[in-house]
Amino acid sequence: MKCQSLSSFFAGIMIFRTLVLVLAFMVANSTALADQQTYIVHIDKTKIRASIHSQDSSKPWFESIIDSISEASMQEDGEEEILAPQLLYAYETSMFGFAARLSKKHLKYLNQVEGFLSAIPDELSTLHTTYSPQFLGLRNRRELWTASNLANDVIIGVLDSGIWPEHTSFRDSGLSPVPSHWKGVCEKGTKFSSSNCNKKLIGARAYFKGYEKFFGKKINETVDYLSPRDSQGHGTHTASTAAGDMVKNANFLGQGRGTATGMRYTSRIAVYKVCWSSGCTNSDVLAAMDQAVSDGVDVLSLSLGSIPKPFYSDSIAIASFGATQKGVLVACSAGNSGPFPSTVGNGAPWIMTVAASSTDRTFPTKVKLGNGQIFKGSSLYQGKKTTQLPLVYGKSAGSTKEAQYCTGGSLDPKLVHGKIVACERGINGRTEKGEEVKMAGGSGMILLNNEYQGEELFADPHILPATSLGASASKIVRSYSESIKKPTASISFMGTKFRDPAPVMAAFSSRGPSLVGSDVIKPDVTAPGVNILAAWPPKISPSFLKSDKRKVSFNILSGTSMSCPHVSGIAALLKSLHKDWSPAAIKSALMTTAYTLNNKGAPISDMASNDSPLATPFVFGSGHVNPVSASDPGLVYDISTKDYFNYLCNINYTSSQIALLSRSNFVCSRKAFLQAGDLNYPSFAVLFGRSAFNASVTYRRVVTNVGKSQSSYAVKVEQPNGVSVSVEPRKLKFEKLGQKLSYNVTFLATGGGKVGGSSSFGSLIWVSDRYKVRSPIAITWL
């Protein structure tokens, strides 16, 4: 017994020691894991190639770098170094570098690698979340939808949450074989195979390495598909908006019935799934952009982004610059952070930045209060109108502050049962609020806008009788519900209506002036982005609620995510019509032909404001896109790669910062006198000090004749307040197509003492017997 006890004792000690060692290993391993994070590493291509060549290495350049920093770290730390660098992606097309999991020690040795430029921590970007072609004039005037124009093989690359390939919007009937220049593939994955691609959907890939490393866990395949298949609906919606096939009798539960079609419905679609349930990591987005350009896309559409940042640290700006150099136009959403100023994202001058506005199609409702007041709202709810029911303000329907927002569990069923509840927007989703009201026994809901949300009306697929109301009506409803002893209200639903004043700028649409490129007006243009009907996966509820068992083939969404693919599709139309145009020329055509008056002949207004309802170039850029006019703009402002480099020099970027974009050395000229405002952009952003008086600045522009071979233009200027604008020469005479002529514009500050941060606006228009080539002017006093 004693012997057994002794042996058991020593065995226990051995087990204890083993556990201690295992525990120590686990702690060390977890510490090493915590020390590592994903970095996007930028490399000078010329230097690294020379370095690798001198070493006569047979390994790929990125493997050589990874091995060298791993070995150096191991030699310093000996056995303590547990985790080697983990390579995620190599980038060689739209930028040069790689993404990898690195520790601080790895970074130390990476800095010693010849050709190293920078290592930027990976970040999370977010998605910026039928009738449109008719509103844009594509159905009424079919010049751009001729057989010869649509026969060309233009490929639109869509970076988003994937696609539902079986949808009728992606059928390939009548299409010619896949374009010969296409080099992409259709990747296999969860519930997705190569047979899901066809002559319409010609490529599909999924990128998730960065996402999994960012969150430190594998993607949950019960929530998402580890493949290009879409589990969110967003990507399916945007892809069909840009290039979906014509589908007759498309509708959302009977609403908005008509023919759904993409802007260029014969374009081929290549899908790159980069967004998952919690967002999209930059390392994945960069890998997808790099691959898309290599695959052979003509246009890239990105309805995603993050907060504004300098171009040299903005992954999308860097990759877009490389894509533009390869002749690929990149269109991006401006963001949904309006109505606050200087929130516009994706603001690099080589990116087409798209704001969002409404069409004249609405889904109106009528709210009638017990005192007889009537207000117009919006909803997609399909059902009978309510009777006059008791009304309760959410703030009074629960015991917590969250009750006013109708968040989960915040409403008291005793105070809500059988009533219409007025809920504030914010914190949780709009349809989620309705679900909470319904679960608490409520019979209806009114969504209230605050002053910042203005008169913006979303049409949402509510699961109970519900509607949104603008800020002015919401203010009255709040007051009425809290001042009357027994307030009542009713909601009636009026279906689909047309011919409202449009476009109107969405309050959510992000605005300028740009924080990182104030010498360029951003956004560039606006396009339909409010209540847009497009394709939808049948397995995803239209309201995003698990309790909602409805299935639809088309859904209605709002966001700059919806406006961006409109412009991507229109750019594809222009690309097929003008094969030799650069991305900058296409941008110019879309900007200089954009309009600033609505369908009633009045200036475009802004949903965000009651006091000053007119929108400005910091809200809509050059105006609302006009595809037909853009196809024949008369003149274009083209921009070369060198022009962009000079611009970066003039905003005081260092040579190393410029190298992140150029992928090689570019030396700024010390001799040439250039200004940031000399970038040959189709708009003018001018900055003056607030006390400036008689201060002046002169900018140069060059226009290329793409209209009539022999034509004359005279300049017309709409003067901004506080500034005198003069142009020299005042007339331009062209003798042939492709001819370039230059002019100078001088801005003279005549009104000193302006309030810092204030702005005034005007325009410069070159007018011929056939064309009007318009550029907005924005003057800002700093």
DSSP 8-state symbol, 465? S
Q: Which spans in 558-608 are helix H?
A: 560-577, 583-592
Phi, psi of 661 (to 5 degrees): -90, -40
Residue bearing tokens 């509607």 = 467
CB 412 within 8 A of CB 431: no
Catalytic site includes residue 125: no
Q: Tokens 């239209």: give the residue.
A: 542
Closest CA to 555 of 165, 230, 170, 260: 260
What lies within 8 Å, CB to CB, of 616 at 6+ separation is 759, 761, 778
Q: What are phi and psi of 289, to 5 degrees?
A: -65, -45
> Half-sphere exposure of 717 toward its Cβ, with a 13 Å CA cutoff?
18
Q: How far apart are the first and last CA of the chain?
A: 91
User: Please, is 539 exposed, middle or buried when counting C-beta atoms within 10 Å of its C-beta (0-12, 13-18, 19+)?
Assistant: exposed
- Which one of the listed residues 561, 563, 609, 775 is annotated catalytic? 561
- Are the beta carbons of 97 and 312 closer than 8 angstroms? no
Find tokens 């570019």 and name the residue.
Answer: 666
Q: What's the CA gap between 658 and 776, in Å, rounded?
A: 28
Q: Which of 122, 153, 160, 298 is catalytic?
A: 160
Give dist(CA 598, CA 356) in Å, integer. 14
φ, ψ of residue 227 to 5 degrees: the values are: -170, 180
Task: Please name the amino acid found at residue 355.
Answer: A
Say how far apart CA 25 and CA 31 lie, in whole Å.
10
Catalytic residue among 42, 106, 128, 234: 234
* Helix orientation angle between 641-650 and 315-325, rounded to the nearest 10 degrees: 150
Largest CA distance in the chain: 113
d(CA 108, CA 596): 53
Strands 280-281 and 124-127: antiparallel
Integer Cα distance of 106 and 85 in angstroms:
7
**3 state SS for 713-771:** EEEEEECCCCEEEEEECCEEEECCCCCEEEEEEEEEECCCCCCCCCEEEEEEEEECCCC
In the residue annotation, 237 being an active-site residue is answered as no
Strand 466-469 and strand 374-378: pairing? antiparallel
- Known catalytic residue at 541: no
What 650-658 contacts at long range (C-beta under 8 Å, 24+ apart), as own/partner pairs, is: 650/674, 650/675, 650/676, 650/678, 650/679, 651/517, 651/519, 651/676, 653/311, 653/312, 656/117, 656/118, 657/310, 657/312, 658/312
Contact criterion met (CB below 8 Å) for 692 and 781? yes
Residue 490 to residue 445: CA distance in whole angstroms: 10
Show which residues are catalytic. 160, 234, 561
